[in-house]
Amino acid sequence: MSLLYFDEWRDTRATIRYIAQIMGKCCLAVKEPEPLYKHVMLTVNQVGLSTSVLKKDGHEFEINLDLLDQLLIIIIDGKEESIILESGQTIKEYYDFVFDTLSDNGINIKINTKPYNIPYEKTLDQDDKERVFNPKTAYHALRLMQQAQYDHYQFLHSRNIKDVKTGLFWDKFDITSIFYIEGNQDYTVSLCYYFGDKYRESPYYIIKINPFKQDKINLKQVEPSYAEYNGKDGSFLIYEEDLQSIIRRDEVLLTFFNSAYQALLSGVSSKLTHNEQ
C-alpha cells in the first residue's frame, strides 16, 4: 500500500483530526475512566472511526466518522442523523451538528473545547475557518489505519498478549496498542503508528515501555539494523518507507517489534520475573 506523506494530506488530516477531537472528548466526558486512558480511544472499523456506544441521560448513542461515504453520523436510540464531510465546511459546523443533535434528543454533554495537543487559534466551537476534505485521501488514510491495526495484532497475537486495546488516540493522532507488562502494572507498553509530521514526513512505527529504563538495553539485538533508537524516551522506531520495498514486509516488521520488545524488557529485567521475559 502506498504511503501518505505529511505534506500530501496536511489539510485533510487536520480536518479529520479536529473532528476526532470532538468525538474523543465526548468519550472522555461520558465513559467511566479506564486504566491507561483506554476509554478515550476511538475504534477504527471498516468505514472509519467510532466512539462505540455511549450512554448518557437515559439514551444510547454513537458518533461515527464514515470516511468511506464521507459522513459524520450520530445514532441515538437507533435513529440516525448525519452531515456531509466536504471541503468548505468549518469545524464549528461539525461541532454544532454534534452537540445540537445530542441536545435536541435530550443528551447534554459538556467538553473542554480547546483542542488538545494541537496549536490552535480558536476553540472547537468557534473555529470558523473553511476546512479541506479530500474523500480519496481520507479513504487512503483509513486504509493505513487498518493496516497499522493489523500490524499491531500480528505482534500481540504472536506473544499472546491480552488485556490490550487498539485504536486511535486522538490527542496525538496515532494508532496505538497499549497494555501492561504481564504481571507488573508498574510498566506499560505502547505500540504506535504515527502519520508523520513536519519533522518526520514518513509514517513510522514506535514501540516503547514506560517508565523508561535505559541501563541494560542491548541495542545490537534489535532488527533490522536500520531501526532507530531514541535515547530520550527509550523508544525504537522504524519508518514505513523503509519497509515498502521489502517483499516480506510483515515478517520484517514483526521481527522489529519482537526484538525491540525484548531489548526494552531487558531494561526493566530487575523488576520482572523470568516468566515475564
What's phi and psi for 16, nearest 5 deg? -60, -40
Which residue type is seen at 197? Answer: D
Measured at the CA of 21, the angle between CA 16 and CA 23, to 5 degrees, comes to 95
The pLDDT of residue 220: 87
pLDDT tens per residue, range 8-43: 999 999 999 999 999 999 999 999 999 999 999 999
For residue 277, the model assigns a pLDDT of 46
> What mean pLDDT is predicted for residues 233-262?
93
Average pLDDT of the residues in 222-226: 94
Element spanning 263, H or E: helix 249-266
Residue that is written with C-alpha cell 502506498 in the block? 2
Alpha helix ranges (H) inside 105-248:
135-158
Following CA atoms 222, 226, 227, 233 in sequence, which dihedral angle do they give, to the nearest 10 degrees?
110
CB of 258 within 8 A of CB of 155?
yes
**pLDDT of residue 271 exceeding 60:** no
Poorest-pLDDT segment among 79-93, 139-153, 220-234, 249-263: 220-234
Cα separation of 229 and 265, whole Å? 15
Sign of CA dihedral 158, 164, 165, 170: negative
User: Which H or E run contains 236?
Assistant: strand 235-239
Kindly give, in sequence order, each residue whose CB lies less than 8 Å from that of residue 186, ignoring residues fewer than 6 positions away: 211, 271
Whether the model pTM is above 0.85: yes
In terms of C-beta density within 10 A (0-12 exposed, 13-18 middle, 19 or more buried), how is residue 221 classed?
Answer: exposed
C-alpha distances in Å from residue 131, one per residue of 5, 7, 13, 207, 230:
19, 16, 10, 33, 35
Q: Domain residues of the chain, as ranges?
A: 6-133, 136-271
Helix pair angle (249-266, 135-158), 10° resolution = 60
Q: What is the pLDDT of residues 155-170, one digit of tens each?
A: 999 999 989 999 999 9
User: Could you tell me how many residues make up the chain?
Assistant: 277
